[in-house]
Amino acid sequence: MRKLFSLILLVFITAAAAATAQTPSGDWILQKVDENMGSDNKIIVAEMVIRGRRGSRTIQSKSWIQGTEQSFTEFLAPAREKGTKMLKLGDQLWTYTPSTDRTILISGHMLRQSIMGSDLSYEDKMEDPVLGNLYSAIVVGEETFLDRPCWVLELTAKKTDVAYYSRKIWVDKERYVPLKENRYAKGGKLLKTFEVKTVTRIQNRWVADRAVFKDVLKKGDGTEFILNSIEFNADIPAYIFSKAALRK
């Protein structure tokens, strides 16, 4: 009986060790996620379909992004939003509205306001896109989402000045694309969710081309983001990232 017990214990320990060896660390998975989406710069053409209480509307935009510190977005349609621009320079965010011909620095409590009625806030726009700079990660499980095996990660903020104290993300094991995400306040309250609908291959990277971002504290069915095109490591003129470009 003692020998049988020892054999069972040995099998259990061996299996547990094998499972541990096959599970990468949360920080390593997060690094792979950042590597998949990271680039020196990129140009994105996209649509936001905002589904609010009073119906839905679609806003088209084009964004030029340089590293993690600089981005410039111009809204192309509809006519009401056409010509509105946003410029991120480090920790500053500027907006220009053609109807008022005014340039405004978005700061303080204004950062929590919605961008054009969407579920995305200016604070979301300002956040460092490199998750490894903001969070430590641990693997808490494995699940299937969109018929894809995923690592389930819990992320905890490394800094105090972040929009979300913690996150839970479902990362595709093969493609290293986050397919689902929950974002929480420090007290554990769920604030926003993110769910990918489809993923595509672009320039040897896997990219979510349709996804829904939802502020759970707002009514409505969330904001769907549709990627029309993305160009990694594009040639972007330096003048794009200047306040003068807001009025051009």
Tell me whether residue 21 is in a domain.
no
Please provide the size of the chain in residues.
248
- In this structure, is residue 16 part of a structural domain? no
pLDDT in tens, the chain (248 residues): 555 444 454 444 444 434 444 899 999 999 999 998 877 899 999 999 999 888 899 999 999 999 989 999 999 999 999 999 999 999 999 999 999 999 999 999 999 999 999 999 999 999 988 999 999 999 999 999 999 999 999 999 998 889 999 999 999 999 999 999 999 999 999 999 999 999 999 998 999 999 999 999 999 999 999 999 999 999 999 999 999 999 98
Q: What are phi and psi of 41, to 5 degrees?
A: -160, 165
In a domain, 47, yes or no: yes
Q: Is there a domain that residue 142 lies in?
A: yes
Alpha helices in the chain (DSSP H): 2-22, 26-37, 122-126, 131-134
User: Is the distance from CB of 152 to CB of 168 less than 8 angstroms?
Assistant: yes
Tell me the C-alpha distance between 106 and 93, whole Å: 5
Number of domains the chain contains: 1
φ/ψ (deg, to 5) at 52: -100, -170
Report if residue 8 sits inside a domain.
no
Domain around 140: 26-247
Task: Measure the CA–CA gap between 122 and 84, rounded to whole angstroms.
Answer: 14
Is residue 228 one of the residues assigned to a domain?
Answer: yes
Task: Give the largest Cα separation in the chain, rounded.
Answer: 85
**Domain CATH for 224:** 2.50.20.10
